[in-house]
């Protein structure tokens, strides 16, 4: 079996948002349940809280599909006709050819950090279509697996991460993907802005918690974008505050972000 994730990034035709959600929760859910290897599907909406606010956010919505495929070359394309149906029905606004469907072979399943409450759903996630510097792939993977994933998953509200490689098998419409890699970080928080602030502060070594991230590896290319989304399907609200294994009282009331 092979773990695969497909991200569907898109915009919904104006005024048809409720129709899309009804299709996703109804007909689409029934069709997905019949696909071999299907594990889960959730919808997300872009958030105003972004760690790199100057980066364009061309997609309002993202659907994330997770599979454990018996035979990816046979099973992965089966998702294509299901997404074609919603496109053909006019629910997707693709006037500017903004729709993107990218499938990834994941290196491993979710890495759960100390903040992760496994009995509750994710409240959202960020994704990074990423790249490594040519000739430095081994160093890139080592930094992510042994340094960056553990330190990110200690940030309040950031609870789990996983990574993958762009699959040679893709679903139509096949359009340019800016990254050969995908980085996904799941959240459990009802105060994403607080989490984004501390993520940025830890990266710059100025977090009130005293926690500081290691310097960014030179193996990680700056040719990447970051996109934060909140979960809007299923259990839509995270009702547990901020998932954090430490002491939140160390943060002053006027804690503010000063840069990313």
Residue 1, pLDDT score: 67
108 contacts 3 by C-beta, under 8 angstroms: yes
What integer is the mean pLDDT of 178-207? 96
**CA distances (Å), origin 31, targets 121, 161, 201:** 23, 28, 44
Using CB atoms within 10 A of its CB, is residue 155 exposed (0-12), middle (13-18) or buried (19+)? buried
pLDDT at 185 over 90: yes
> Whole-number mean pLDDT of the chain?
94
What integer is the mean pLDDT of 247-259? 75
10 contacts 59 by C-beta, under 8 angstroms: yes
CATH number for the 2-250 domain, one of 1.10.3470.10, 3.40.50.170, 3.30.70.100, 3.40.190.80?
3.30.70.100
What integer is the mean pLDDT of 150-165? 98
What integer is the mean pLDDT of 226-236? 87
Reported as a pLDDT band with limits 50, 70 and 90, residue 260 is: very low
pLDDT tens, residue by residue, 77-109: 999 999 999 999 999 999 899 999 999 999 999
Residue 258, pLDDT score: 44
Q: Copy the structure tokens of residue 260.
A: 């990313």
What pTM did the predictor assign? 0.94
What integer is the mean pLDDT of 192-199? 96
pLDDT tens, residue by residue, 39-82: 999 999 999 999 998 999 999 999 999 999 999 999 999 999 99
* Domain assignments of the chain as residue spans, ordered by start: 2-250
Residue 254, pLDDT score: 76
What integer is the mean pLDDT of 30-39? 97
Reported as a pLDDT band with limits 50, 70 and 90, residue 238 is: confident
**CA distances (Å), origin 59, targets 17, 141, 223, 227, 229:** 14, 28, 19, 9, 10
Other CB atoms within a 10 A radius of the CB of residue 42 amount to 20
Residue 237, pLDDT score: 65
pLDDT tens, residue by residue, 112-141: 999 999 999 999 999 999 999 999 999 999
Residue 101, pLDDT score: 98
pLDDT at 235 over 80: no
Residue 256, pLDDT score: 59
């Amino acid at each position: 079996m092979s773990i695969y994730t497909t991200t569907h990034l898109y915009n919904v035709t104006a005024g048809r948002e409720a129709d899309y959600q009804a299709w996703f929760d109804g007909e689409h859910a029934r069709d997905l349940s019949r696909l071999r290897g299907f594990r889960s599907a959730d919808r997300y909406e872009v958030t105003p809280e972004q760690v790199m606010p100057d980066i364009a956010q061309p997609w309002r919505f993202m659907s994330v599909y997770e599979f454990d495929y018996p035979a990816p070359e046979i099973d992965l394309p089966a998702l294509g006709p299901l997404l074609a149906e919603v496109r053909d029905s006019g629910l997707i606004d693709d006037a500017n050819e903004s729709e993107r469907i990218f499938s990834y072979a994941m290196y491993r399943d979710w890495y759960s950090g100390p903040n992760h409450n496994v009995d509750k759903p994710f409240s959202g996630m960020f994704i990074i279509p990423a790249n490594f510097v040519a000739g430095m792939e081994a160093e890139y993977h080592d930094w992510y697996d042994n340094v960056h994933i553990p330190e990110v998953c200690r940030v309040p509200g950031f609870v789990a991460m996983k990574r993958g490689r762009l699959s040679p098998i893709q679903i139509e419409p096949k359009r340019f993907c800016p990254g050969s890699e995908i980085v996904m970080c799941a959240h459990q928080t009802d105060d994403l802005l607080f989490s984004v602030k501390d993520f940025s502060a830890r990266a710059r070594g100025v977090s009130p918690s005293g926690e500081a991230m290691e310097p960014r590896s030179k193996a990680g290319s700056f040719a990447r974008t970051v996109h934060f989304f909140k979960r809007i399907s299923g259990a839509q609200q995270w009702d547990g505050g901020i998932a954090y294994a430490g002491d939140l009282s160390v943060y002053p009331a006027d804690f503010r972000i000063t840069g990313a």
